[in-house]
Amino acid sequence: MNQLMYLVMLKKSKTFNRLTKKIVEEHVENIRRLDDEGKLELCGVFKGYPGMAGMYILKVETREEAEALCQREPLVAGGYAAYQLAGLELAHRGNNYLL
């Protein structure tokens, strides 16, 4: 069985430039919680891509769980960003790179 993770792309909304320190701290705490729970594979900020805030790769069992995590992300819940969610099937030596 191939492993599936979920790629979350955060797109800036028109109010993104109104972020407060409190919202940023809540966002970082959310990242910490995901990492502590073993649900975060990777995250980062995009540089040089206007309109894009950043991304996560989530290690969760279902798309529904990934959707719920996206909706509770403080940037999304506060209207500062929208998200796009995509299933990501991992290619690696163990599955012959999906051949």
- For residue 1, the model assigns a pLDDT of 52
Q: What is the pLDDT of residues 3-56, one digit of tens each?
A: 789 999 999 999 999 999 999 999 999 999 999 999 999 999 999 999 999 999
Tens-digit pLDDT profile for residues 66-81:
999 999 999 999 999 9
Average pLDDT over residues 70-94: 96
CA distance 76 to 15: 11
The gap from C-alpha 82 to its chain's centroid, in whole angstroms, comes to 11
Q: How far apart are CA 33 and CA 40, in angstroms?
A: 9
Token pair of 54, please? 């950043």
Q: What is the pLDDT of residue 2?
A: 59
Can you give the pTM of this predicted structure? 0.90
8 Å CB contact between 8 and 56: yes
- 53 closest CA partner among 71, 25, 26, 76: 76
